[in-house]
Amino acid sequence: MRNFIFVSPNFPANYWKFCRELKNNGFNVLGIGDCPYDNLSVELKTSLNEYYKVNSLENYDEVFKAVAFFTFKYGKIDYLESNNEYWLERDALLRTEFNISTGFKTKDMKKVKYKSQMKKFYKKAGIKVARHYLVKTLAGCRKFISEVGYPVIVKPDNGVGAEATYKLKNEQELIDFLNKNPKGYIMEEYLDAIVNSYDAIVDGNGNPVFETGLVEMGDLMDIVNSQDNSCYYYLNNPLDDVRDAGRRTLKAFGVKNRFVHFEFFRLLKDQHIGKKGEVVALEVNMRPAGGCSPDMMNYANSTDVYKIWADVMAFGKTDVEPQEKFYCTYAGRRNGKPFLYSEQDILDKYKSNIKQIWHVPAALSGCMGNLSFLANFKTKEEMNAFFDDVLKER
């Protein structure tokens, strides 16, 4: 029997479904986490063969000992994954030290975690990238800005989502930013664009066995910084140009045996980098899209991405096929806003469409709101009316 270590299987809360499908496919599913066993959901407990609690997942020595214990007890570890951006580097280090061959190793981390390094591989894929400068000095920033103009975007070169990302609109904002003595930041030209994603489950030969994608209806950076509502939707089919860019990116990065979430900008007007409507690079994420997004993929495609992923891990292929197609919406409300319609009003009006109501955990609420409604619609017109009703304020 093959052994699969799943790191932090309890967060996000829906990740127990990955464990369930791995176990159904014959793996020993071995969890490592810092949540007390008694506090794990019943669903997760029944999806694990064994659970090793550490005091803190941040403590590498503790996690190392947990992997060593499982290796001693069960033998060779075939896979180690968290499917979580926060732990990707930790996962890679553990694979390196325990010689687990199915996944990225430490030597691979720069290209998949550092935005400045990602650009090289996007270029290899033939995809345009925004001009950038690794922030060092005021003079260097001024020189870069003289070439691209204000505004510019600054964000951690190794960061997650829109965390600590800012738009600088003038010299004073630049100086204020630099006075905070930021370390490890990248500065990029501002692009007037919306985000389209390419989400895929990739087999051991680097071929996608499932593909979908989302469209963001707002600027995630602005949502985080202004604590605004969040809205996006999963398409019932990937857009052709995004699918093409995503597949080329898979090959450039050499992705195998992974769930991925690649982000692209679709330009809203002609700019230095390209023409209106063109798809250009943003960043790669070598894990599923966050939070409830895997569930949204299921709703949009009438499928089960948890099983598809586990099938690829176990058998290298899957016989699961998407069925009826929808637009699956995410409408995330922010606490404290005077919404016109109550939660019950929305439930009453859209009871045949709503698939899930999600109280967003604090760790994810910065970019996803506090209370979200996931719903399916056959047309964009129905979807847009739903967004209006959920997010309309008095």
Would you state the structure tokens that stand for residue 34, as one six-digit string?
């810092």
Measured from the Cβ of residue 144, the count of other Cβ atoms closer than 10 Å reads 18
| pLDDT of residue 189 exceeding 90 | yes
- Over residues 52-58, the mean pLDDT reads 98
Higher pLDDT, 106 or 367: 106
Which residues have C-beta within 8 Å of that of residue 357, sequence separation ≥ 6? 343, 347, 371, 372, 373, 374
Measured from the Cβ of residue 86, the count of other Cβ atoms closer than 10 Å reads 14
Would you state the structure tokens that stand for residue 324, as one six-digit string?
């009826």
Band of pLDDT at residue 180, cut at 50, 70 and 90: very high
Residue 161's pLDDT is: 62
Helix (H) or strand (E) holding 263: strand 258-267
Q: Smallest Cα–Cα separation from 350: which of 390, 299, 296?
A: 390
Residue 204's pLDDT is: 93
| pLDDT of residue 160 exceeding 80 | no
Residue 223's pLDDT is: 46
Residue 122's pLDDT is: 97
Q: Convert the pLDDT of each residue in 223-276 to its tens digit.
A: 455 567 888 999 878 899 999 999 999 999 999 999 999 999 999 999 999 999
| pLDDT of residue 222 exceeding 60 | no
Residue 162's pLDDT is: 60
- Over residues 191-215, the mean pLDDT reads 96
CA dist 232 and 227 (Å) reads 16
CA dist 152 and 329 (Å) reads 30
CA dist 246 and 122 (Å) reads 10
Residue 250's pLDDT is: 98
- Print burial letters for 332-367: b (CB count within 10 Å at least 16), e (below 16): bbbeeeebebeeeebeeebeebbbeebebeeebbbb
Share of the chain above pLDDT 70, in %: 97
- Ranked by mean pLDDT, the top range of 20-29, 155-164, 224-233 is 20-29
Residue 219's pLDDT is: 57
Q: Judge residue 302's burial from the number of C-beta atoms within 10 Å of its C-beta, 0-12 exposed, 13-18 middle, 19 or more buried.
A: middle
User: What is the overall mean pLDDT for the chain?
Assistant: 94
CA dist 52 and 54 (Å) reads 7
Q: Convert the pLDDT of each residue in 312-365 to its tens digit.
A: 999 999 999 989 999 999 999 999 899 999 999 999 999 999 999 988 888 777
With 0.85 as the threshold, say if the pTM is over it. yes
Q: Are strands 132-134 and 185-189 parallel, antiparallel or unpaired?
A: antiparallel
| pLDDT of residue 169 exceeding 60 | yes
Band of pLDDT at residue 23, cut at 50, 70 and 90: very high
- Over residues 361-375, the mean pLDDT reads 85
Q: Which of 78-92, 286-300, 356-370 has the lowest mean pLDDT?
A: 356-370
- Over residues 26-51, the mean pLDDT reads 98
Residue 224's pLDDT is: 54
The residue length of the chain stands at 394
Q: Convert the pLDDT of each residue in 108-159 to its tens digit.
A: 999 999 999 999 999 999 999 999 999 999 999 999 999 999 999 999 999 8
